[in-house]
Amino acid sequence: SGILYQEILDTPRNFAILIDPDKVEVNEVHRLVKNLPSITTHLLVGGSTVERGKCEAVVKSLKTFTKIPIILFPGDYTQVTPEAQAILFLSLVSGENPEYLIGQQIKSAKAIKGSKLEVISTAYLLIDGGKETAVQRVSKTKPMSQLDINKIVSTCLASELAGKKMIYLEAGSGALFSVKPEIIKAVKKEVSIPIIVGGGLRTESQIEMCYEAGANMVVVGTAFEEQMKNMVDVTSRSVTNLANS
C-alpha cells in the first residue's frame, strides 16, 4: 500500500483541515496556510460543487506555501487533479445512487490511472447531522440515522470486505451535530481499516472524543473557515489553538 496511507495508519491522531475550493480564492491561500492549526497533518481539498479548474488552482497554490500533504476529497470527477499527493477514491455507500457509487468513479478512472496520485479507496457514509447538507442535496441520497448503529456497522463491514481501505463517517459540512462516539466505537470494534470522522466538529473536546472513540483522522472545515473569516480568536480553545493546549 502507499506511503501516505501507511503514515495515516502509523499516526494515532491525524488532523485534517478541509479546504473547499468553492469557498476560497487563490489569493487567500497564503493567509489560510499561515493560520492552519499547528496540529494539522493533512489538507483535504474538495467540495460538493466546485467550478472547473478551481480545485487544481487551489492545490497548486497550496503547494507553493506548505509541505503538508494534500489529499483530494472530490465531490465529482472534475475535481481530480494530478497536482495533489493522494486521492480519497470515494464511494458513497450509505446511499444507493449509482452515480456516486460507481458513475463518477468511472468518469475519473483514466485520469487517476495516468497520474501519480496515491489512491485510497474509501467508503463514504453520510450520517444524519440534523440538517440537509450539500452531500445529501447533490447526491440525492438520504443520510443514515444515528440510531441505526447496526446498519452503519454492517455497511462499514461490507465496505471492508469489498476491499475499501478507509471508512469516512460524514455528518455533512456544517452539520448541527457530529457523528456520535458510540457509532465510531461500534465501527472500530468491527472493522480493521482506519476511520475518518468529519462534519459539524467545532471544539477541542468534540475532536478529542472522536479520537478516543477510535477515529484515525478527524476533519474540520466550517469551524476553520469561520475563524478565517473573523480572524478574531473569540475562544481560547478554538481549533487554531489546539496545539497550545
Provide the H-helix boundaries in the chain: 3-10, 29-34, 54-65, 98, 104-113, 134-139, 149-161, 181-190, 204-213, 222-230
In the bound state, the residue with its beta carbon closest to ligand 1GP is: 198
Asked if 60 contacts 84 with a C-beta cutoff of 8 angstroms, the reply is no
The CB-of-114 to ligand 1GP minimum distance in angstroms stands at 27
Sign of CA dihedral 147, 151, 152, 153: positive
For residue 194, count CB atoms less than 10 angstroms from its CB and return exposed for 0-12, middle for 13-18, buried for 19 or more: buried
The CB-of-24 to ligand 1GP minimum distance in angstroms stands at 13
Smaller CB distance to ligand 1GP: residue 85 or 173?
173
Smaller CB distance to ligand 1GP: residue 161 or 234?
234
Residue numbers at the binding site for ligand 1GP (CB under 6 A): 18, 170, 173-175, 198-201, 219-223
Smaller CB distance to ligand 1GP: residue 33 or 90?
90
Asked if 177 contacts 185 with a C-beta cutoff of 8 angstroms, the reply is no
Smaller CB distance to ligand 1GP: residue 110 or 171?
171
The CB-of-98 to ligand 1GP minimum distance in angstroms stands at 21
The CB-of-29 to ligand 1GP minimum distance in angstroms stands at 18
